């Protein structure tokens, strides 16, 4: 810019002009350096920070999710045998190892014939073995069903095989629950589980377990739907989404899908409803998805500034509560990269609001409103006025100016919490709910198909809801899977985790 300029003029006016040009050049370069340092600091935190959510390389879980999706589809389809049907998929049906403990149960039809009253004679018996998992070890349940004949009328009778989660399969409910929790709570892909079980002398192929996962999640889907309905009955909920990789149909490359979470948690204001987390999987991030998920909902939705949520809000729709944690995060990024005093002061002022929330936590809504009106409203108002005063003092293109403009745009939508005790200052409840997905994708990496993503959402709904209620998800799912095949769909509320906790207490 200055290379063709004579920088040694003697005329005072020319000297002043050169000085202005130099000052403008220095200011422009300083702004560029500040912007690049801010971007570099953000990239370093994203790549190396403890909260990094960067995508890992692809691995073998494509095949697992494809098998899970196929099994889930088969589980929900009625059996229609036909000579033209394709042959059923073959899974490992090797005998269960002899070294495992056997727990035998005899299901006898009795000693007397129910038809004529004659004595029954044993003709033989059918033995069904199912592999079961109790915490810490495998066992085999032997179900013995003697076949008996009546000495009087020659009728042959046998007790029916009790309902099981997977018909014609070998897994017991405890083993199915263990596989689900290991994959979706402990983030162990099925091929790793297969390797672990092999060290215990158990030959379980991952294709077999993928079939179990698909059929189990299909069986449990109505229960996950019931949790979703409970979430949408609340006065307020928390919404967020996070990306996951999904294999593009018919291609080796991947596309970015989304997992959405909607959480109802009334514990901060001593509400009566148990906390619930509902997950949904979609192949993209279009705004039509949250609108569809929350169709008809007219309560409050805590959300970040993603424009895809905008369709939720408006006349005769839901109301928006913005997230102050996102506002604070913008200033933290600026302070971490530049050490800026204005950013530091903004962080300090926002921290005052959070300090007041500690006193409000767990209190009744009307008490929370009174406390906020008396102590938080002045701090909130001063922060907003102070930010307006700082904006003209700094370059409009700087990261700090961008952070201030973002804050001023979101604060009017965060203000409702001051007058509503059912609301929170931020959306951290939903952000905590998506963390298991972020952790999991570092292990199972991605969804192998849309069907696999749906199974994942069902599993997360059940497991994370149990964890929110301080219920052991494996124990609860074992209990549910032992009952759900025969349970009336109109009484699903009897199977929810807090009902199990009350019964087990």
List, as one string, the DSSP characters of 15-28.
HHHHHHHHHHHHHH
CA-to-CA dists, residue 161 to 144, 167, 365, 488, angstroms:
9, 10, 53, 19
What would the pLDDT profile of 370-407 be if each residue is shown by its tens digit? 999 999 999 999 999 999 999 999 988 899 999 999 99
Separation between Cα atoms, residue 384 and residue 243, nearest integer Å: 33
- Residue 276 burial (CB count, 10 A): 28
What would the pLDDT profile of 196-221 be if each residue is shown by its tens digit? 999 989 999 999 999 999 999 999 99
Structure token pair of residue 347? 């962080």
Of the pLDDT bands very low, low, confident and very high (cuts 50, 70, 90), residue 455 is very high
Of the pLDDT bands very low, low, confident and very high (cuts 50, 70, 90), residue 63 is low
Pick 345 or 45 by higher pLDDT. Answer: 345
Of the pLDDT bands very low, low, confident and very high (cuts 50, 70, 90), residue 6 is very low
Mean pLDDT lowest among 179-188, 306-315, 346-355, 392-401: 392-401
Q: What is the pLDDT of residue 220?
A: 97
Separation between Cα atoms, residue 170 and residue 96, nearest integer Å: 9
What would the mean pLDDT of 6-16 be, rounded to a whole number?
A: 68
Q: Write down the mean pLDDT value for the chain.
A: 87
Pick 198 or 441 by higher pLDDT. Answer: 198
Backbone angles phi, psi at 246, to 5 degrees: -135, 140
Residue 342: pLDDT above 80? yes
Closest CA to 473 of 483, 481, 465, 484: 465
Structure token pair of residue 76? 């929900």
Pick 5 or 302 by higher pLDDT. Answer: 302
Structure token pair of residue 443? 């292990």
Measured in residues, the chain has a length of: 505
Residue 449: pLDDT above 90? no
What would the mean pLDDT of 311-329 be, rounded to a whole number?
A: 96
Contact 211, 71 (CB under 8 A): yes
Q: What is the pLDDT of residue 331?
A: 96
Mean pLDDT lowest among 37-41, 78-82, 437-441: 78-82
Buried b (16+ CB within 10 A) or exposed e, 325-339: bbbbbbbbbbbebbe
- Residue 267 burial (CB count, 10 A): 13
Separation between Cα atoms, residue 281 and residue 67, nearest integer Å: 17
Q: What is the pLDDT of residue 5?
A: 47
Residue 429: pLDDT above 80? yes
Residue 83: pLDDT above 50? no
Residue 194: pLDDT above 90? yes
Name the CA radius of gyration of the chain, rounded.
31
Name the pairing type of β-strands 446-447 and 236-247: parallel
Pick 469 or 101 by higher pLDDT. Answer: 469
Query: What are the strands, taking DSSP E only, across 284-443?
Result: 300-302, 319-321
CB half-sphere exposure, 466, CA atoms < 13 A: 26
Q: What is the pLDDT of residue 121?
A: 86
Closest CA to 165 of 206, 131, 204, 200: 131
pTM, two decimals, is 0.80
- Residue 252 burial (CB count, 10 A): 8
Mean pLDDT lowest among 87-91, 239-243, 323-327: 87-91
* 471 secondary structure, DSSP code: -
Angle at 133 between CA 127 and CA 138, to 5 degrees: 80
* Residue 299, SS3 per DSSP: coil
Separation between Cα atoms, residue 325 and residue 347, nearest integer Å: 10
Q: What is the pLDDT of residue 391?
A: 94
Structure token pair of residue 465? 């809801």
What would the mean pLDDT of 74-89 be, rounded to a whole number?
A: 56
Q: What is the pLDDT of residue 288?
A: 97
Mean pLDDT lowest among 19-33, 60-74, 294-308, 379-393: 60-74
Percent of the chain clearing pLDDT 70 (strictly above): 88
Pick 307 or 5 by higher pLDDT. Answer: 307
* 358 secondary structure, DSSP code: H
Structure token pair of residue 325? 């944690």
Q: Give 396: exposed, middle or buried? Use CB within 10 Å, 0-12, 13-18, 19+.
A: exposed
Of the pLDDT bands very low, low, confident and very high (cuts 50, 70, 90), residue 64 is low
């Amino acid at each position: 810019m200055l290379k063709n300029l004579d920088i040694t003029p003697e005329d005072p006016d020319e000297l002043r002009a050169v000085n202005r040009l130099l000052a403008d050049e220095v200011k422009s370069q300083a702004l560029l350096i500040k912007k690049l340092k801010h971007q570099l600091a953000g990239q370093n935190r994203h790549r190396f920070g403890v909260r990094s959510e960067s995508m890992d390389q692809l691995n073998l879980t494509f095949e697992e999710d494809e098998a899970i999706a196929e099994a889930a589809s088969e589980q929900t389809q009625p059996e229609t045998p036909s000579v033209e049907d394709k042959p059923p998929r073959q899974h490992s049906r090797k005998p269960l190892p002899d070294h495992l403990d056997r727990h035998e149960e005899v299901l006898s039809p009795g000693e007397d014939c129910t038809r004529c009253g004659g004595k029954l004679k044993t003709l033989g018996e059918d033995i069904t073995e199912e592999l079961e998992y109790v915490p810490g070890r495998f066992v085999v349940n032997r179900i013995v069903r003697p076949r008996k004949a009546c000495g009087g009328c020659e009728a042959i009778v046998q007790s029916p095989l009790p309902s099981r989660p997977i018909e014609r399969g070998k897994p017991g409910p405890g083993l199915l629950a263990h596989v689900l929790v290991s994959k979706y709570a402990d983030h162990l892909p099925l091929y790793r589980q297969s390797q672990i079980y092999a060290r215990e002398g158990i030959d379980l192929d991952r294709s077999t377990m993928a079939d179990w996962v698909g059929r189990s999640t299909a069986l449990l889907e109505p229960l996950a739907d019931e949790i979703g309905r409970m979430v949408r009955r609340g006065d307020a909920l928390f919404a967020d989404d996070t990306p996951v990789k999904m294999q593009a149909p018919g291609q080796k490359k991947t596309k970015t899908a989304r997992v959405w979470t909607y959480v109802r948690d009334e514990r901060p204001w001593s509400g009566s409803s148990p906390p619930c987390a509902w997950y949904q999987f979609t192949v993209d991030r279009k705004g039509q998805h949250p609108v569809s998920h929350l169709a008809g909902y007219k309560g409050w939705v805590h959300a970040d500034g993603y424009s895809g949520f905008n369709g939720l809000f408006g006349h005769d729709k839901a109301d928006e509560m913005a997230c102050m944690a996102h506002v604070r995060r913008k200033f933290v990024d600026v302070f971490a990269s530049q050490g800026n005093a204005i950013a530091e002061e903004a962080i300090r002022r926002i921290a005052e609001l959070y300090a007041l929330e500690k006193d409000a936590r767990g209190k009744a809504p009307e008490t929370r409103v009174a406390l906020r009106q008396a102590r938080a409203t002045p701090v909130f108002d001063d922060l907003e006025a102070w930010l307006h005063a700082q904006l003209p003092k700094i370059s409009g293109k700087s990261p700090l100016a961008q952070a201030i403009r973002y804050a001023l745009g979101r604060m009017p939508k965060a203000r409702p919490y001051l007058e509503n005790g059912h609301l929170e200052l931020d959306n951290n409840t939903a952000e905590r709910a998506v963390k298991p997905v972020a952790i999991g994708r570092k292990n199972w990496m991605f969804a192998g198909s849309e069907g696999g993503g749906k199974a994942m959402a069902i599993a997360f709904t059940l497991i994370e809801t149990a964890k929110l209620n301080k219920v052991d998800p494996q124990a609860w799912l074992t209990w549910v899977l032992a009952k759900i095949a025969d349970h009336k769909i109109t009484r699903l509320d009897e199977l929810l985790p807090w009902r199990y906790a009350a019964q087990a207490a």
